[in-house]
């Protein structure tokens, strides 16, 4: 509630009547410029689409089709009047990003050339310690377009089968076979590009053999099985359409559970590893403006609970399951030694390594360019630190700006970080693979690669006009924001990107209005527009409590359509509202 009342009046009338939405003055002026006798004809509309909306190839036939779509609102069907022109601007045919554009990046390059939509502990329904394990969050992730599913596999209670659970926590297990079957059924619901299953493996060789049998029988021909021991270069997403890929550390020897447990307990209780000592306790300053700190304890030490960190400390050799080893297409695992050894590029072998968010933060201070070089051929997976027991997430841009393909997120960890993840993967038709910018893929003269720390010149300036918003009256209860009067909305708009580009600004709050009109302009100079995401949030000002949430979206700047556009807003969980939209203008200078 944002209005404080000090006495109750029984004759108080709630003022919830919705006024008719009126076009802002700039829209009226544009309509006048592109209309004759208060009507925008097909030729006028075509001119508007080319000159204002920057749709260079717009035709009169397209303009006529738009006009025909609004005939039922207007008796004079020969063109658009101001009312129907305004309706068109707010319509789904005039969105800021066109879903219908589909996949348009080159998909024939190796997997290492793409950012890939990646889940962490994909089977958890809630927090990291006590929530249920289930195939439901896996299904939901696949339906959203996530392409990398992580499963922690453990012996079941009777040690004769395999469960999926977050080890040594109170999470209740789900059978591996159930997860595999759900992956098969839903893998390609949102995208036909490959699904990678990353396994964190805590199994004995006989159970690994059982997993190999389950995987082979469940996926059959759609399983991608590498022809050789390890790949020199990863195949392309195009060549792997509708295929399932297994990625884990190839078993070399079997670690006794007791020894693994002791090692993990050491890491989780903060005993310093050699790499921690080598790097010291430095904490980098990497800004992603306005991403708030999350609740939970922040420890200095890395959480090293990951499949690659069960290293070969046990020197007693045991048999391995060759049929299991043979299914692993993307080999995971760090070389012995510290960060220099981990990032060494092997010309004969493409592989994957994993770093916790803290390990990455430390590594980028001293090895930023080496990480970029490594990720040109190899895959880097980043995962949340173990202290994020509430399933919150971290700033994904730190990984992306260094070329990390698999920035693994808790898909149930709703919040601003996850909104950025949703925004990044709205690009390229929402297929779950976004081609990395060329500067992250190329090596220049003298073997130079992109330096994420370099201060770069401004490449382009994005000018954003926030005109108005509508739809809350239909999508929210009329007392949701205020008990006795209409809401006081304001919009936050900004950029998440490289540190120099990241910023957040806001409009004034418009009091007592379900149809707020702001008419405010913001400019964002961008040094790396290729990695920039436009962040948009609407809040309702509350004098006495926390401001109420009124919608959000995050859009890849590389795919923004110039001109006056409708911007659909989403809930905190990322679900699109039925009616809530903003009217905005995007111009590049």
Average pLDDT of the chain, as a whole number: 86
pLDDT of residue 253: 54
User: What are 217-247's pLDDT values in tens digits?
Assistant: 999 999 999 876 678 999 999 999 999 999 9
What are the residue numbers of the active site?
120, 166
Alpha-carbon span 418 to 412, nearest angstrom: 9
In sign, the C-alpha dihedral spanning 25, 29, 30, 35 is positive
Mean predicted confidence (pLDDT) in 537-553: 91
Mean predicted confidence (pLDDT) in 100-124: 95
pLDDT of residue 353: 96
User: What are 164-189's pLDDT values in tens digits?
Assistant: 999 889 999 999 999 999 999 999 99
Higher pLDDT, 169 or 194: 194
Alpha-carbon span 566 to 184, nearest angstrom: 36
Mean predicted confidence (pLDDT) in 191-210: 96
pLDDT of residue 76: 56
Pairing of strands 517-526, 533-540: unpaired
pLDDT of residue 13: 44
Query: Of 71-75, 121-125, 569-573, where does mean pLDDT reach its minimum?
Result: 71-75
Mean predicted confidence (pLDDT) in 66-85: 82
Q: What pTM does this model have?
A: 0.86
Q: Which residues are paired to 118 by β-bridges?
A: 148, 408
Closest CA to 288 of 116, 504, 493, 460: 504
pLDDT of residue 291: 29
Mean predicted confidence (pLDDT) in 253-274: 42
Mean predicted confidence (pLDDT) in 139-143: 97
Please, what are the domains in the chain?
19-89 (1.10.238), 111-309+327-441 (3.20.20.190), 455-589 (2.60.40.150)
pLDDT of residue 412: 93
The H-or-E segment that residue 199 falls in is strand 195-201
Can you state the angle between helices 176-186 and 136-144, rounded to 10 degrees?
20
User: What are 274-289's pLDDT values in tens digits?
Assistant: 333 233 333 333 333 3
CA 104 to chain centre: 18
Higher pLDDT, 128 or 252: 128
User: Hey, what long-range contacts does 274-280 have (CB within 8 A, 24 or more apart)?
Assistant: 274/338, 275/338, 275/339, 275/359, 276/301, 276/302, 278/338, 278/339, 279/339, 279/362, 279/363, 279/365, 279/366
Give, rounded to a whole angstrom, the gap between the first and last alpha carbons of the chain: 41
Alpha-carbon span 494 to 290, nearest angstrom: 9
Burial class (CB in 10 A: 0-12, 13-18, 19+), 121: buried
Asked if 524 contacts 460 with a C-beta cutoff of 8 angstroms, the reply is no
pLDDT of residue 252: 72
Structure-token match 């120099």, residue found: 500
Backbone angles phi, psi at 387, to 5 degrees: -80, -5
**Which 3 state secondary structure label does DSSP give 530?**
helix
Alpha-carbon span 443 to 192, nearest angstrom: 31
Asked if 314 contacts 255 with a C-beta cutoff of 8 angstroms, the reply is yes
| pLDDT for residue 357 is more than 50 | yes
**Which 3 state secondary structure label does DSSP give 575?**
coil
């Amino acid at each position: 509630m944002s209005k404080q009342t000090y006495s109750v009046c029984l004759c108080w009338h709630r003022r919830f009547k919705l006024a008719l939405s009126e076009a802002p003055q700039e829209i009226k002026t544009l309509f006048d410029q592109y209309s004759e006798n208060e009507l925008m004809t097909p030729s006028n509309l075509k001119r508007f689409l080319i000159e204002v909306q920057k749709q260079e190839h717009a035709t009169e036939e397209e303009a006529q089709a738009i006009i025909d779509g609004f005939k039922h609102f207007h008796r004079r069907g020969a063109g658009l009047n101001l009312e129907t022109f305004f309706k068109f601007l707010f319509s789904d045919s005039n969105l800021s990003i066109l879903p219908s554009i589909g996949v348009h990046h080159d998909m024939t390059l190796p997997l290492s050339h793409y950012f890939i939509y990646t889940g962490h502990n994909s089977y958890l329904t809630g927090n990291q310690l006590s929530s249920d394990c289930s195939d439901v969050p896996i299904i939901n992730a696949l339906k959203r377009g996530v392409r990398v599913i992580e499963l922690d596999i453990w012996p079941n209670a009777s040690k004769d089968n395999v469960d999926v659970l977050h080890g040594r926590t109170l999470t209740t297990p789900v059978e591996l076979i159930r997860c595999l079957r759900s992956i098969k059924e839903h893998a390609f619901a949102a995208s036909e590009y490959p699904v990678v299953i990353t396994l964190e493996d805590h199994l004995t060789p006989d159970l690994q053999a059982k997993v190999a049998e389950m995987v082979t029988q469940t996926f059959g021909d759609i399983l991608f099985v590498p022809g050789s021991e390890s790949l020199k270069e990863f195949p392309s997403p195009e060549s792997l359409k509708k295929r399932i890929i297994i990625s884990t550390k190839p078993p070399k020897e079997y670690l006794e559970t007791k020894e693994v447990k002791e090692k993990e307990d050491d890491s989780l209780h903060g005993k310093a590893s050699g790499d921690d000592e080598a790097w010291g306790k430095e904490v980098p300053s990497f800004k992603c403006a306005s991403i708030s700190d999350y609740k939970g304890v922040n420890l200095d030490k890395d959480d090293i609970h990951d499949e690659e960190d069960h290293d070969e400390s046990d020197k007693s050799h045991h048999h391995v399951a060759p049929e299991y080893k043979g299914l692993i297409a993307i080999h995971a695992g760090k070389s012995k030694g510290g960060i220099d050894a981990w990032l060494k590029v092997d010309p004969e072998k493409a592989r994957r390594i994993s770093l916790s968010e803290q390990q990455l933060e430390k590594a980028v201070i001293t090895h930023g360019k080496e990480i970029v070089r490594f990720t040109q051929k190899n895959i880097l997976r980043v995962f949340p630190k173990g202290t994020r027991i509430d399933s919150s997430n971290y700033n994904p841009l730190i990984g992306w700006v260094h070329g990390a393909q698999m920035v693994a997120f808790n898909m149930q960890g709703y919040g601003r970080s996850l909104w950025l993840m949703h925004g990044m993967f709205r690009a390229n038709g929402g297929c779950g693979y976004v081609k990395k910018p060329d500067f992250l893929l190329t090596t220049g003269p003298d073997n130079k690669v992109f330096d994420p720390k370099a201060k770069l010149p401004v490449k382009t300036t994005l000018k954003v006009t926030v005109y108005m918003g509508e739809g809350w009256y239909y999508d929210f209860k009329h007392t949701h924001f205020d008990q006795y009067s209409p809401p006081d909305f304001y919009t936050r708009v900004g950029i998440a990107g490289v540190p120099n580009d990241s910023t957040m600004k806001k409009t004034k709050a418009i009091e007592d209005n379900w149809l707020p009109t702001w008419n405010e302009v913001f400019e964002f100079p961008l040094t790396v527009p290729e990695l920039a995401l436009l962040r948009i949030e609407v809040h309702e000002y509350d004098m006495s409590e926390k401001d109420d949430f009124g919608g959000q979206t995050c859009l890849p700047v590389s795919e923004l359509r110039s001109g006056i556009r409708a911007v659909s807003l989403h809930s905190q969980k990322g679900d699109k509202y039925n009616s809530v939209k903003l009217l905005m203008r995007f111009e590049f200078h």
